[in-house]
Amino acid sequence: MKFCPKCGSILVPQVIEGKRYLVCPSCGYKEEVQGGTGFKVRVKIKHSPREKLVVVNANAVPPTASKVKGTIRCPKCGHDELLAWMQQTRAADEPPTRFYRCTKCGYTWREYA
Ligand SMILES: [Zn+2]
Ligand SMILES: [Zn+2]
């Protein structure tokens, strides 16, 4: 809410010739509204698709995957060099799942917490 700088009355939002103004009903003072000031602007927030459920594609290694060496071994071939990455598999409020892929045999598995 804004008040008239001249007489102190409450300014009323009005649209004149496509432009938005705050107009004083008492003294006729008016000021152009820049960027929606004085108005309640309803902004529709679009939820990004990342918030929705993500289908796990086990074949896709994201570019954020990092190389892990010497700490974890591939359960299939015993190789100790793998790619590790985090992926949101369920709802956004659940922690992401950690995935591993063996760089030797390509075996991909996920780590269960
Ligand atoms: Zn006024
Ligand atoms: Zn392997």
Domains annotated for the chain, with CATH where assigned, are 1-43 (2.20.25), 49-111 (2.20.25.10)
93 catalytic residue (yes or no): yes
pLDDT in tens, 79-99: 999 999 988 777 777 788 899
- Ligand 1 centroid to 14 CA: how many Å? 14
Angle subtended at Cα 53 by Cα 87 and Cα 110, rounded to the nearest 5 degrees:
30
Residue 80 neighbours by CB under 8 Å, 6+ apart: 69, 70, 71, 72, 73, 74
Whether the pLDDT of residue 50 is over 70: the answer is no
Whether the pLDDT of residue 14 is over 50: the answer is yes
Contact criterion met (CB below 8 Å) for 39 and 13: yes
Neighbour count for residue 20 (Cβ, 10 Å): 17
Residue 43 neighbours by CB under 8 Å, 6+ apart: none
94 catalytic residue (yes or no): yes
Please indicate whether residue 44 or residue 3 has the higher confidence score (pLDDT). Answer: 3
Please indicate whether residue 113 or residue 2 has the higher confidence score (pLDDT). Answer: 2
Confidence grade of residue 37 (pLDDT, cut at 50, 70, 90): very low
Lookup: tokens for 8: 């102190």
